Every structure is written in structure tokens, then in C-alpha cells.
Amino acid sequence: MLTPKEIVEFFAIVRTLIAAGRGVVFITHKLKEALTIADRISVLRRGKVVGEVLPKATSESQIAEMMVGRPVQLIANKASVSLAR
């Protein structure tokens, strides 16, 4: 688990490698990070490629759906809780 500052530093290193002509495989479940750094995203489920998309042409919800094989609600609906005293 990287802190936000460490993620920025890590991505700077990755971009340096890419600029030097290196290929980078970044494996993550963090959709925002994948959309930020990737040139293309390949989704695997149960060891098989189930989709490949370009980050600019997809969304977190579309990637999540490919990951689990069904529509996914990314924002939890939480009921308000009142604390009784």
C-alpha cells in the first residue's frame, strides 16, 4: 500500500522507464491508478483475458464489470445512523 505521495513518485519512475523505451506491466485492483498510468488496460478473470480497453475510452464501472463479470455499484448506499444516548 503506497501513500498518495509514494504513488506520485512511483508513477514518475514508471513514466521515466516508458520514456526510455521500456515496457511496463502494472498489475493492480485500483481502478483510478490504472486509468491514470496505463496506455491500455487488459482485464483478467480466472486467469483469462476478458477484455482490453483504452483508458480514455472506458470508465471505472466498465472495468469493474469486466473484472467481476456483472454490473458493479462502485458507490455504497449507506443509510444514516443516529447515535442514541
pLDDT in tens, 50-64: 999 999 999 999 999
Q: Is the pLDDT of residue 85 over 70?
A: no
- The reported pTM is 0.77
Q: Is the pLDDT of residue 84 over 80?
A: no
Cα 84 to the chain's mean position, in Å? Answer: 39
Inter-CA distances, 13 with 17, 28, 36, Å: 6, 17, 14
